[in-house]
Chains A and B, each alone.
Chain A
């Protein structure tokens, strides 16, 4: 095929075609501490972020997505951004940060990066509430 421009940036394309850290097949394949989920397949996109936490840091991360190219690229990018971060640092990775990392999604696809952020936040909050002695969510 001719080398034509996509409507997506090279980074989005790269993450879509070669997604990082996805969880292949059954989720029991990954030993995770918490999972966050947003969206609904009926609405056309759903994301799930699985985190493994060691010494207060996200030591490993996987995701699953039912969604469009931007949704896949967003979750893939977020998994790269969050890996190795402390939970507080990871919470600061907002939709803009994902969007910047990807070299900007098309405007009408920005919500995909919002969903990614929400899924990770839910995973972190669930992890925290699951810890003994946690008083706040």
Chain B
């Protein structure tokens, strides 16, 4: 499946184009599973069965139990839900987190225990794979978070600890093999549109017996953990994308085929483009195999992005210039501490449909674009 003949799409980390299997499953779902999945009648049951299939698939792929999966409107909602569960508590995040973690944590963090750690496993901009922190798992009981009970008066939180661990696995899903139990996670975030599913669907893994507060209240859906009518069609689309992950063991293809493309592009950029430097460590295990972040001395990222766009090559940049309030990527700032490096960065992110011809096309355009920008730049190459 190729969108738009002639386009070289290398922005999979922003959104992967929808898989044919997903589109077909959603089209069928629109007709067959239109009923409200919470309803007790047959069409409702049929819809719910499909939702449960998707839930089971995600659980199986990440080593969780189906009842530990909550479907959400996306990764940002899942991230917000976890952070706001720990409102008033200590919250520690890595500086590389998505804004839906950083900004939510800034607003809701306090000083109480238990403490929440939120560390993404793989970063969306550089692809870096992070070490998850060691957390204090010793027992602790003095928190109102632990006093939540079920409708039958049973305590919901029986796993009472000083600290809990959340990880945003949005970029990692499908790219590397994952097991939430082996990673020691209490919470994990997922998104459908990064793996060829629809935009507007995500999921949250919540380990049994840990603290949880619903973000959307008012409804029995998702075991009272997330109100709102089930997004049956979207969840079925997510399920179809997950099915493909499972059947094709995509993480193996990423490790071989996609890695080879990414590394080839990196090698050629370093040899053929003056003033280029990698912001991604290509060592296996140090980064996702599909992301390559590069900076080009004296060339500004948005201009690079748009010159490439004009030639049908789609990438993203860590430079955002708007309203005179030019904020470079917080991730590259945290990694390099150099605003110029951040402003001059471009991210190439590959998918399973990427080809050697894509790399070739990039290299037939990129050196010329960078050369022009460097030559008209106020920043001198030799100053660097």
List residues of A whose CB falls within 8 A of some B CB: 1-2, 13, 16-17, 19, 22-25, 37, 41-48, 63-72, 108-109, 111, 114
Contact = CB atoms under 8 A, between A and B. Distances in A.
A67 B4 contact: no
B: interface residue count bin: 20 to 34
From B307, B376, B378, residue with most partner A Cβ within 10 Å: B378
Interface of B: 4, 6-7, 298-300, 302-303, 306-307, 310-312, 319-324, 326, 328, 339-340, 343, 375-379
A16 B306 contact: yes
Given A17-B310, A43-B339, A108-B322, A66 B379 contact: yes
B322 A109 contact: yes
A25 B371 CA distance: 10
21 contacts: A1-B311, A2-B7, A13-B310, A16-B307, A24-B376, A41-B343, A42-B343, A43-B339, A44-B328, A64-B377, A64-B378, A65-B377, A65-B378, A66-B298, A66-B299, A67-B300, A70-B321, A71-B321, A72-B376, A108-B322, A108-B323
Nearest to A25: B375
A119 to B, nearest CB: 10
Which 6 residue pairs of A and B lie closest in terms of their CB atoms, listed nearest first?
A: A44-B326, A1-B312, A68-B302, A111-B324, A108-B322, A42-B339
A68 B378 contact: no
Contacts, number: 84
A106 B307 CA distance: 18
B310 A43 contact: no
Contacts of B324: 111, 114
A64 B339 contact: no
A42 B326 CA distance: 9
**Residue from the set B4, B303, B328 with the largest chain A CB neighbour count within 10 Å:** B303
A47 B321 contact: no
Contacts of A66: 298-300, 377-379
A98 to B, nearest CB: 15
Contacts of B4: 1-2
Given A42-B343, A67-B321, A72-B376, 19 more contacts: A13-B310, A16-B307, A24-B375, A24-B376, A25-B375, A41-B343, A42-B340, A44-B326, A45-B321, A47-B378, A64-B378, A68-B300, A68-B321, A69-B302, A69-B306, A71-B321, A72-B303, A109-B321, A114-B324
Contacts of A43: 326, 339
B9 to A, nearest CB: 11
Given A1-B7, A41-B340, A65 B302 contact: no
A24 B323 CA distance: 28
B303 A67 contact: yes
Contacts of A24: 375-376
Most chain-B CB neighbours within 10 Å: which of A19, A24, A44, A109? A44
Contacts of B302: 67-69
B357 to A, nearest CB: 15
B43 to A, nearest CB: 39
A66 B319 CA distance: 12
A25 B298 CA distance: 12
Contacts of B298: 66
